[in-house]
Structure 1
């Protein structure tokens, strides 16, 4: 089976998007990735790369009247969320696909996605849970499911679900928590009750991320990263993909300083999941700039102030009246300028 995927990103996530593509190339027997470039620079670079299993779609070709109408009202992050369902819709309709799966650009595949599609079977749509660690269960208020791997089949039930999600995101998609919605992701909470033939993927190697990695034990066995819910690894499965949400790093000339996530990440995961990824991203950056790649020490750090901020983010927002105050005063990473597209220096 040929797998059809789509993703969206701009120049800020260019190296991550290329890493995602390379991981699919490594672990998929047959696939095609439809990349929606959200600025001129990323479109130019990706087009010049002539990726064998990708189609690059410019923002001007993708945007329609509905999206352009709401674009001025949303920040960059909110507009990207608004467009997620529309990218799947565009790919299916414009390239006559029998299915398409949206992938977040900040993910990396470590194994074949075959087990996911075997689990989906003949279902019309598929979603993945956040699978929050026990101490983070309160975060389900932002959505039980994660917009990281969302599958739709081009059939009656799949297109009905996709159309509803797409129209809902165009109508409302903001970084504000309401009772029934938050960004594009809380809409997924209603898929099972509203639509038929929905699959909720159960494979524990799907969507491992900072918010759930403590649920699992990780080891390398026979050259492959494997996960198990128990420490003795008697029953283990491959880590299929990891979601690097919140990863930041900078090169100060001598070493690479990285904040892997707002949440604390264990040493074993830093060594086996984060270090190779950061090295790959820096390697891609050197390739794009035509500079010599020099391997540098990676220093992982999480400042005390970040720990304090995360404590309040996780605990203050547990209570509705405190959440109201938080959103009234918030100054967070989603408060970005409302312009997108064109060149980014």
Structure 2
């Protein structure tokens, strides 16, 4: 059985549940440890009593070191800071052989076991951004993406993980500084710093808005494992923001239409349980055309202005 962990708060809850349900759809041999990063998400997740999940509250998870630096980090920075610590907690608390970390905004289209098996005798698995050249942010955001990572609970795996835990507690901020950025650029030299790290080769793992331009998802020979719905937002007035990368028609049909529909299904279900709250993290519309009209015009010309009415994805064909 594969053990996974993830973290999210109430603003990411529908996305986290969509990720879990997509994983359940393609794999029945797993257990997911969810770190609920606020009381609102913890209460609801416990109420849902998900079959293949263990829900962990901040009060259970946080230690003295994390609590000491928490006031110095923003909410997002603190989540990044905690990422390696959640993996370490899961491995040690539940005495697991290994643990795979998942970002809450991943969505599975096939069984991820093919990615995990690729590790063979290595103890750590990391995934590249594989940026499309025009979107290359390697210098500032890193070569690798903290999205799908596996650590074995052995001496080699724990050596890497403990190094990362300490590094993130020492410095983890949402800015590029002295070769560092968040929890992510620490991974840049792991292939040379440590001998036990494997770089994922399967192109179906790690497809994301910054690299999807390189792939033909409609090609039956391309096996998509997961897509990273980076920067997906629910906006006011029933709009969705897909981010500022160029997407084509097949991306909308294969990726975003089923995802938006799934999120809507989860949203409607949650309303039957807790109609008082919304778990989509709806943000205010801040149209780029008003803030930066020149940049907006350029993005629109390039097909990189991706705000749509939600009904565009929900309507029947």
TM range (shorter): 0.7 to 0.9
The answer as to 2:307 corresponding to 1:308 is: no
In the alignment, does 2:181 pair up with 1:199? no
Map 1:285-300; keep pairs closer than 5 Å. Answer: 285-290=267-272
The 5-angstrom pairing of residues 1-345 of structure 1 reads 2-219=1-218, 221=220, 236-250=221-235, 252=237, 256-290=238-272, 304=289, 305=292, 308=295
SS state at 1:219 partner? coil
- Give the conservation status (yes or no) of the 8 Å contact 1:262–1:307: no
Q: 1:133 to 1:56 in 2, by over 3 A?
A: same
- Counterpart in 2 of 1:329? none
SS of residue paired to 1:69: helix
- Tell me the TM-score normalised to structure 2 length: 0.85
Going from structure 1 to structure 2, the CA distance change for 1:307 and 1:156 (only over 3 Å counts) comes to: farther
**CA 1:101–1:310 in 2, change beyond 3 Å: closer, same or farther?**
farther
Asked if structure 2 preserves the Cα contact closer than 8 Å seen for 1:210 and 1:265, the reply is yes
Q: Which residue of 1 is the match for residue 311 of structure 2?
A: none
What is the CA-CA distance between 1:204 and the residue it aligns to?
A: 0.6
**What corresponds to 1:333 in structure 2?**
none
Q: Secondary structure at the match of 1:281?
A: helix
Give 1:258 deviation, angstroms. Answer: 1.8
Q: Secondary structure at the match of 2:210?
A: coil
TM score, norm. by length of structure 1? 0.79
Q: State the Cα deviation string for residues 9-30 of structure 1 (Å, max 9, x = none).
A: 0000000111111011111130
2:177 aligned counterpart, secondary structure: coil
Q: Say if 1:127 and 1:150, in contact at 8 Å, map to a contact too.
A: yes
- C-alpha distance in 2, partners of 1:214/1:109? 19
Displacement after TM superposition at 1:249 (Å): 2.6
Please report how far the alpha carbon of residue 278 of structure 1 lies from its aligned counterpart in structure 2 after TM superposition.
0.8
Give 3-state SS (helix, strand or coil) of 1:207's partner: strand
Deviations 1:210-252 (A, max 9, x none): 100001111174xxxxxxxxxxxxxx23110000011123463
Contact 1:262 1:306 in 2 (8 A): no
Structure 2 distance, partners of 1:54, 1:306, is 46
For residues 260 and 157 of structure 1, do their structure 2 counterparts lie closer, same or farther at Cα, with a shift above 3 Å needed?
Answer: same
Moved over 6 A (4+): 309-312
Structure 1: where are the runs of 5+ without partners?
A: 222-235, 292-301, 313-345
Count of residues paired in the alignment: 284
Q: CA RMSD in A?
A: 1.9
- Aligned CA distance change for structure 1 residues 98 and 115 (closer, same or farther; 3 Å): same
Question: Does the aligned pair in 1 maintain the 2:142–2:184 contact within 8 Å?
Answer: yes
Q: Render the CA deviation track for 1:262-315: whole Å, top value 9, x for unaligned.
A: 223222201220011011111101101119xxxxxxxxxx85548816979xxx
User: What is the DSSP-based 3-state SS (H/G/I as helix, E as strand, rest coil) of the residue aligned with 1:4?
Assistant: strand
Q: Deviations along 1:32-57, whole A, 9 cap, x unmatched?
A: 00000001111111111111110000
Contact persistence 1:43–1:57 (CA under 8 A): yes
Distance in structure 2 (CA, Å) of the matches to 1:279 and 1:307: 33
Q: Please state how far the C-alpha of 1:142 moved relative to its aligned partner.
A: 1.6
Structure 2, gaps ≥5 residues long: 274-286, 300-317
Query: For the residues of structure 2 that align with 1:57 and 1:311, how far apart are their CA atoms?
Result: 44
Contact 1:262 1:310 in 2 (8 A): no
Say which SS state the counterpart of residue 56 (structure 1) adopts: strand
TM-aligned CA deviation for residue 154 of structure 1: 0.6
CA 1:239/1:121 → structure 2, altered by over 3 Å: closer, same or farther?
Answer: same
